[in-house]
Structure 1
Amino acid sequence: MPHAKPRLIVIDTDPGIDDAIGILLALASPEFTIAGMTTVAGNIGIETTTRNAGRLLAFAGREDIPVFAGAATPLSRPGPEPLNLHGKDGIGGADLPDPTKQPENQPAVAWLTELLLNESAGTVDVLALGPLTNIARLILEKPEAANRIGRIIAMGGVVHEAGNVGPRSEFNLWADPEAAAVVVSSGLPLVLVPLDVTRQVRATRDFAEALSATGMPLAAMVADLLESYFETTTHRESRPLHDPCVMLFALAPELFRLEDLRLTVSTGSTEEAGALTIGEKGTLVQVAMSVDGSAVLDLLAAKLTAI
C-alpha cells in the first residue's frame, strides 16, 4: 500500500531540553512535513529560544525550515523567570552549532496567518511544546486563519496529579494562563497531553546509553540532551519526556488513551494560574490520560536510529 501523505505541521516551541528532543524526533519522522517553527518565551527568553531552534536545525542540516520569532511575553502578565532546569542556554549546554540562518523577519503570528490562509482548511496541524501565547494571539487577532487549523496537539496542564509549578499547575499553562484559557475555550480541535501522561514516558540512563551506542547523529544528540537533563536534577534514575509526547501522539495515537473532558483554565492567583478544572461549564477537549510508555520509547528510539 502507498504511504500516507506526510502531515503538514508547525512546531510552536520554547527549546528547552525536552523540546529539543521532540524537535529532533519530528525531523527524523517522514510522516511530517515541517512548514516552519515558531518560537515563544517560556523555559527561557525569546532570543534564546529562537536561537536554539536555529541551532537544532543547523545540527540536523535542515536550514530549509524557517524559524519565526513569536511572543516575548505572556498576553497580560509578566513572564516567568527562566528555568534553571535547562541551563543558562536553555538547552543544557548541548554541543550544537550556531544557527546558519537568521530567523525570518516576519513575526510568528503574521506567518501563521499567511500559511493557514494559503493552505487548504484543516490541513495544517500545530504541535505546541511551550506556553500557548502565539496560538492565543492568532485566535484573538486572526480568527479566520485560526479556524483553519486541522488540530492543535499541546503539551500542557495536569488533571489528576500534582502540578510541577503549583499544586494543580503545569509550567506551560501556568506561564501564560490567559493564553491557555483562550486556546482551551476556543472550540478549535485540541488534544492536550498533560503531566498525567508525560510522567509515564521516562527515559533512563540505560535508554540514553543505548541511543548513544548506535552512533547515529540524531540519537547521539538526544542521548547528550538526556545526559544534560540528568545532570541538572537530583532525581537521576529517569527523566520524563514531556514535550516529545506531542510528536509521539501525532505519530502513534493508538498508543495513547484519550478522554473527552470539559475543561476550564484558571487565570487567578499565581498559585492557581493555569490549573485545569473539569466541569459542565468547561469546553470539550480531548485529553490524553494514559499511554503505553515502553511502546512510545521504542518508537522514539526507532525513529532516531532509522537509516
Structure 2
Amino acid sequence: MATQPKKIIIDTDPGIDDAMAIFVALQSPEVEVIGLTTIYGNVYTTLATRNALHLLEIAGRTDIPVAEGSHVTITAIQSDPAFVKNIGQIVVLGGAFSVNGNVNPAAEANIFGDPDAADIVFTSGADVLAVGINVTHQVILTDSDRDELAKCNGKFAKYLDKILGVYFGYHHDAYSTKGVYLHDPTALLAAVDPSLITYTEGVVRVQTTGITRGLTLFYNKQKRFAEVTEWSDKPSVKVAVTVDAPKVLKLVMERLINS
C-alpha cells in the first residue's frame, strides 16, 4: 500500500536558499506542502510574505496558502500551548553545534534572530530535530552544479540560476569558496527523508544574553549532575550529526532539473 505523503508547513524568510528549498519541496512526491508561514530573517516579514507569494506564483501553486508571521519577536508556542501536541515534528534549520556560528563565532543566524523563542522551542517537549550549520556546511552546490542548472530546461532551475549570482558572490567573499552552502534544502530534505542524516539526542539550551547570545549548547546527558540547574528535567531533542551530502545534492539537482 502506498504511504500518504507527509503534510508539511514551511516557515520561511525567502531568501535564496529558502527559494531553492520551497521548489525542492514542491517537487518532492514524499511530502505535501499545505502552507507557507513567513518570518523575518533574511528580509523583513512583509517582504518575506511578498517573496513567498511570488515563488508560489512562479511555481503555479497559488492554491497553497501563505500566512504572515510576526513582525517582532514573539514566543509562538506560549500563545498556543496545545501546538506542541498538535504537530508531528519540527525540523529546525538552526544552531552551530560545536562549530563557529555564521553571524559571529558564537551564533548561527536563525537562532541569533530570536534566541528567546528558540530556547522555548527546544525546551517545549515537541519532537524537534535541529539541523545546524555543522551539518549544512557539508552540502555545497558548486560553480559547475550551477552551470548545469543554467543549461537545463527545468523552470525552477532556470529561475534559481538568475538569482544565485548574489548568493555565490556572498559565499566567495565571506568564505572564499567556489560554491554555496545548501542550508534550507538540507533541512527540508531531512524532513522529507530522515535517512539522509544521523542524529544524537539530548537537551539543547540557547544563550539569550551577552557576547554569546544565540549560542546553542547541547547536553548529551552522559553525566548526571548533582546540582539542579537550567538543564535539569528538560526534554530531549534530536540534533543532526552527519549528512549524506552527495545524496542531498543529487536530490536537489534532480528535482530542480526535472521541474
TM-score normalized with structure 2 length: 0.89
Which residue, 243, 247, 255 being the options, matches 2:196? 255
Query: How many corresponding residue pairs?
Result: 244
**After the TM superposition, which residues 1-307 of structure 1 pair with which residues of structure 2 at under 5 Å, given as runs?**
2-75=1-74, 136-137=75-76, 139-233=77-171, 234=173, 235-269=176-210, 271-279=211-219, 280=221, 281=231, 283-306=235-258
> Matched residues in 2 for 1:228 and 1:206: separation?
16
CA contact 1:208–1:227 (8 Å) conserved in 2: no
Partner amino acid for 1:303?
R
Moved more, 140-149 or 184-193: 140-149
Which runs of 5 or more residues in structure 1 are unaligned? 76-135
What one-letter code is carried by the residue in structure 2 that aligns with 1:291?
V
- Please, which runs of 5 or more residues in structure 2 have no aligned partner? 222-230
Matched residue of 1:200: which SS? coil
- In structure 1, how many angstroms separate the alpha carbons of the residues matched to 2:187 and 2:236? 19
Q: Distance in 1 between matches of 2:193 and 2:83?
A: 27
1:176 Cα deviation (Å)? 0.3
Amino acid paired to 1:272? T
Residue 181 of structure 1 aligns to a residue in which SS? helix
Could you say which structure has the greater relative contact order, defined with CA pairs below 8 angstroms and 6 or more residues apart? 2
**Shift of residue 152, structure 1, vs aligned partner:** 0.2
**CA shift at 1:193, angstroms?**
0.2
Q: In structure 1, give the amino acid aligned to 2:156.
A: L
What CA distance in whole angstroms lies between the structure 2 residues aligned with 1:236 and 1:228? 14
Paired residues of 1:155 and 1:243 also in contact (CA < 8 A): yes
- How many angstroms apart in 2 are the aligned matches of 1:169 and 1:162? 7
Aligned-pair CA distance for 1:219: 1.8
SS at match of 1:143: coil
Q: What's 2:227 paired with? A: none
Give, in angstroms, the shift of residue 252 of structure 1.
2.2
Aligned equivalents of 2:98 and 2:6: distance in 1?
32
How far does the alpha carbon of each residue in 1:246-294 deviate from its partner, in whole angstroms, 9 at most, with x for none?
111122221211111321111112x311111123515411011111211
Equivalent pair of 2:84/2:125 in contact (CA under 8 Å): no
What's the RMSD between the two structures over aligned residues?
Answer: 1.5
- Letter of the structure 2 residue corresponding to residue 243 of structure 1: D
User: Percent of aligned pairs with the same residue?
Assistant: 36
Following the alignment from structure 1 to structure 2, what is the Cα–Cα distance between the partners of residues 250 and 144?
Answer: 22
> Could you list the per-position Cα deviations for residues 201-225 of structure 1 after superposition, in whole angstroms to 9, with x for gaps in the alignment?
0111101111222211012223333
Structure 1 runs (4+) greater than 4 angstroms displaced: none
Partner amino acid for 2:18? Answer: D
Shift of 1:226: 2.6
Take 1:165 and 1:191, find their aligned partners in 2: how far apart are those partners?
21
